[in-house]
Chain A
Amino acid sequence: QKEVEQDPGPLSVPEGAIVSLNCTYSNSAFQYFMWYRQYSRKGPELLMYTYSSGNKEDGRFTAQVDKSSKYISLFIRDSQPSDSATYLCAMSNYNDYKLSFGAGTTVTVRA
């Protein structure tokens, strides 16, 4: 069993829809939870991060962490064609350089 599980999709939604992405994990020591966005033919870039449990909102993006269920989510409201990308969840322990990545979910927003 992989340490971080993420449905690779692909996911195709119409413009304006809400995109819901999620990951589950098995390592209860994870404290930091990140979402990276990767456009085609580019490297990943950090989109959002949260520490421990709770929600965080940044514009149209909301990240949620439920440590009791070992489940994290990313929601994209009012999705735009420019949101079409692969979204990777990543997580780490408090004092560790190492990130554990999910497989990535490819999202296409149709105009």
Chain B
Amino acid sequence: DVKVTQSSRYLVKRTGEKVFLECVQDMDHENMFWYRQDPGLGLRLIYFSYDVKMKEKGDIPEGYSVSREKKERFSLILESASTNQTSMYLCASRPTGTSGLDEQFFGPGTRLTVL
């Protein structure tokens, strides 16, 4: 059974704090993603990693960075959290393929509140 886990379901941080969101997948997938989900806006891609230590910016990378030191783990970092980063954060993984149809498997999400 495929599994993507995220370190926290709910997180409350203060403005200016450094925040780490962790994601682990057990499917040996090469590709991993970080999205944020906001009402009325759907899922927006923050960063994508296609291999260990490799990353690409998504549509909204500003204020975020990522780290992928091991294949199964992909971390999202908020260097200095701001209130406009209050959101639901979703991690996903996907096997490497040449087809745009390859399914992305999502974790349960982390609801981050920045006060």
Contact = CB atoms under 8 A, between A and B. Distances in A.
Interface of A: 4, 6, 8, 31-32, 34, 41-46, 49, 51, 88, 90, 92-99, 101-104
Nearest to A97: B31
A18 to B, nearest CB: 24
Given A101-B42, A103-B40, A42 B48 contact: no
9 contacts: A8-B40, A43-B109, A46-B104, A51-B101, A90-B43, A93-B100, A95-B99, A99-B45, A103-B41
Contact of A46 (B31, B100, B103): B103
Q: Name the residue among A31, A88, A94, A99 with the largest chain B CB count within 10 angstroms.
A: A99
B90 interface: yes
Q: Name the residue among A42, A96, A97 with the largest chain B CB count within 10 angstroms.
A: A97
Contacts of B100: 31-32, 92-99
Place the interface of chain B in its size category: 20 to 34
Nearest to B50: A97
Binding site secondary structure of chain A: loop
Contacts of A44: 43, 90, 106
B106 A97 contact: no
B111 to A, nearest CB: 9
Contact of B42 (A4, A43, A45, A94): A4
Contacts of B50: 97
B108 A92 contact: no
A18 B94 CA distance: 32
Given A88-B42, A98-B45, A103-B42, A43 B99 contact: no
B84 interface: no
Nearest to A103: B42
A109 B104 CA distance: 27
Given A31-B100, A97-B48, A104 B107 contact: no
A103 B107 CA distance: 18
